[in-house]
Structure 1
Amino acid sequence: MSVTGKVVIALTVLALIAGATLPTPASAVQGLDRAAAAAGGAKLKKKAKAKTKKAVKKELPGGRTPGLSKPGSPTRIKVTNCAERRKAGRVATLKCKWKASGELRGRVPVRCTGRATFNARKKRVTRVSACKNREDPQAPLLAAPHDVRFGYFEDFSTHGDLWGELGASGADSFREGIAWKVLQPNPGGTPATWNWAPFDSVYARALATGVRPMWTFTSAPCWAAQSPCDPNGVNPVAAPSVGAYANAAAQIALRYPMSAAIEIWFEPNSAKFWGAPADPRGFSELVGAASAAIQATGTGVAVYSGGLAPGRAAADKLEMSKFLSRALAAGGIEGADAIGFHAVADVPFKPGNNPTKGYLGRLRINVQALDSELADAGVRRPIAVTELAFSTAGPKPYTDAQQAEALVSSYQVLRRIAEIPIVIVSRLLDNGDGSKVQGFGVVRSNGSKKPAYCRLAAARGAPTPAGCV
Structure 2
Amino acid sequence: MTALGARGCWNLVRLFSLALIGVTVSACQTTSPVSRVPIGMTVHVRDADTANLKRQFDLMAEMKVTWVRVDINWSSIEAGQSQLNWDYPDAVFEQAGAHGMKVMAVLAFSPGWANASTTIPWAPTSHARPDDPASFANFAHVAAQRYAAKGVGAWEIWNEPNTRKFWRPNADAGQYGDLFRAATDAIRKVDSRATVLIGGLAPLPDEAGAGIAPTEYLEQLYASGTAQLADGVAVHPYTFPDLPLDSHRQPVGAFGDLPALHAVMERHGDGRKKVWVTEFGAPTGTGPTAVSEKDQTLTLVQARQQVARWEWAGPLLYYELVDGGTDPSDVEKNFGVLREDLSPKPAADALMESESQWWW
- Normalising by structure 1, what TM-score? 0.61
Secondary structure (helix, strand or coil) at the match of 1:331 reads coil
2:227 corresponds to which letter in structure 1? I
2:87 corresponds to which letter in structure 1? A
Rounded to whole Å, the distance in 2 between the matches of 1:218 and 1:263 is 8
- Please name the residue that 2:104 is paired with: 214
Counterparts in 2 of 1:259 and 1:459: CA distance versus 1, 3 Å: farther
- Structure 2 residue 229 is matched with structure 1 residue 338: no
- Structure 1, unaligned runs of 5 or more: 1-71, 74-102, 110-137, 463-469
Matched ranges for 1:162-311 at <5 A: 162-187=56-81, 194-225=84-115, 227-229=117-119, 232-238=125-131, 241-257=132-148, 258-298=151-191, 300-311=193-204
Rounded to whole Å, the distance in 1 between the matches of 2:183 and 2:37 is 24
- Please name the residue that 1:451 is paired with: 346
Rounded to whole Å, the distance in 1 between the matches of 2:101 and 2:161 is 27
Secondary structure (helix, strand or coil) at the match of 1:236 reads coil
CA shift for structure 1 position 313: 5.6
Matched ranges for 1:34-433 at <5 A: 109=27, 138=28, 140=30, 142-145=32-35, 147-156=36-45, 158-160=47-49, 161=52, 162-187=56-81, 194-225=84-115, 227-229=117-119, 232-238=125-131, 241-257=132-148, 258-298=151-191, 300-312=193-205, 314=207, 315-346=209-240, 348-349=242-243, 365-380=256-271, 381-393=273-285, 394-430=287-323, 431-433=325-327
Counterparts in 2 of 1:211 and 1:181: CA distance versus 1, 3 Å: same
CA shift for structure 1 position 425: 0.6
CA shift for structure 1 position 264: 0.6
Secondary structure (helix, strand or coil) at the match of 2:217 reads helix
> Is contact 2:43–2:69 with CA below 8 Å preserved after alignment?
yes
User: Taking CA–CA contacts closer than 8 Å with sequence separation of 6 or more, which of the two structures ends up with the larger relative contact order?
Assistant: 2
1:337 corresponds to which letter in structure 2? D
CA shift for structure 1 position 435: 2.3
Secondary structure (helix, strand or coil) at the match of 1:233 reads helix
CA shift for structure 1 position 385: 0.3
CA shift for structure 1 position 356: 8.0
Question: Identity of paired residues, percent?
Answer: 25
1:319 corresponds to which letter in structure 2? A
More strand by share: 1
CA shift for structure 1 position 248: 2.0
Counterparts in 2 of 1:455 and 1:234: CA distance versus 1, 3 Å: same
> Is contact 1:400–1:451 with CA below 8 Å preserved after alignment?
yes
- Structure 2, unaligned runs of 5 or more: 1-21
1:221 corresponds to which letter in structure 2? P
1:156 corresponds to which letter in structure 2? V
Counterparts in 2 of 1:459 and 1:363: CA distance versus 1, 3 Å: farther
Rounded to whole Å, the distance in 2 between the matches of 1:276 and 1:141 is 42
> Is contact 1:414–1:420 with CA below 8 Å preserved after alignment?
yes
Rounded to whole Å, the distance in 2 between the matches of 1:331 and 1:439 is 39
- Please name the residue that 2:12 is paired with: none
Counterparts in 2 of 1:401 and 1:313: CA distance versus 1, 3 Å: closer
CA shift for structure 1 position 453: 0.4
- What value does the CA root-mean-square deviation take over the aligned residues? 3.0
Rounded to whole Å, the distance in 2 between the matches of 1:458 and 1:291 is 39
> Is contact 1:236–1:276 with CA below 8 Å preserved after alignment?
no
Counterparts in 2 of 1:212 and 1:448: CA distance versus 1, 3 Å: same
2:47 corresponds to which letter in structure 1? T
CA shift for structure 1 position 424: 0.8
Aligned residue pairs, count: 319
